[in-house]
Amino acid sequence: MSAAVTDAVDAITAAWGRERPELDASPMGVVGRISRLSRLLDKELKDFFAGHGLEFWEFDVLATLRRSGAPYELSAGALLKTAMVTSGAITNRVDRLEAKGLLERVRDPADRRGVRIRLTGAGIELIDRLLPLHLANEERVLAVLSRDDREALAGLLRVLAVGLGDTTLG
């Protein structure tokens, strides 16, 4: 990438360099970009899913169930662990997706008190149709990076994630 390419974080770190030259603002170069990119990517994904009549969180719940393998169901607790939200929020999400006919609550045969959340046929059809489109959208978003750059970036982000304790879904 050309050294002449600059972004908003370059302006921020340059301003701190002028105002507080005794401080090393270089961590902002990484943290600031990750933070800003998170917001930019969230907007891209929100716009994409809105174009398909979904919220990102709806896709996330459906995708989590679909990748769990047949019969495409998880306990409420397992679904909660992957979602990183409160139990009240996951209940609300399940309620809303159930109302749309995309998933259903079924009794857990191993635990009569337990409930499992299962994709319906409509939920499976939707996620199977939308996943390739979602991946193509992510490919579009990342098109500015070569395959080698993407692999290097993914590796560096993995190291940072693991360093911050993000090693499992639960």
Please tell me the pTM assigned to this model: 0.85
Contacts 24+ apart (CB under 8 A), 136-141: 137/44, 137/45, 137/48, 141/41, 141/44
Question: Is the model's pLDDT at 47 over the cut of 60?
Answer: yes
pLDDT, averaged across the chain: 92
- Continuous segment of H or E residues that includes residue 27: helix 26-50
Residue 170 pLDDT: 55
Percent of the chain predicted with pLDDT > 70: 96
Is residue 104 helix, strand or coil? strand
What is the tens place of the pLDDT at every residue in 127-155? 999 999 999 999 999 999 999 999 999 99
CA 31-14-36 angle, 5° bins:
30
Q: What is the pLDDT of residues 83-95, one digit of tens each?
A: 767 777 888 999 9
d(CA 136, CA 145): 15
Which three-class secondary structure state does DSSP give residue 21?
A: coil
Count the alpha carbons within 13 Å of 4 in the hemisphere toward its beta carbon.
0
What gap in Å lies between CA 103 and CA 119, rounded to an integer? 4
| Tokens 């609550």 belong to residue | 105
16 CB-near residues (< 8 Å, 6+ apart): 23, 25, 28
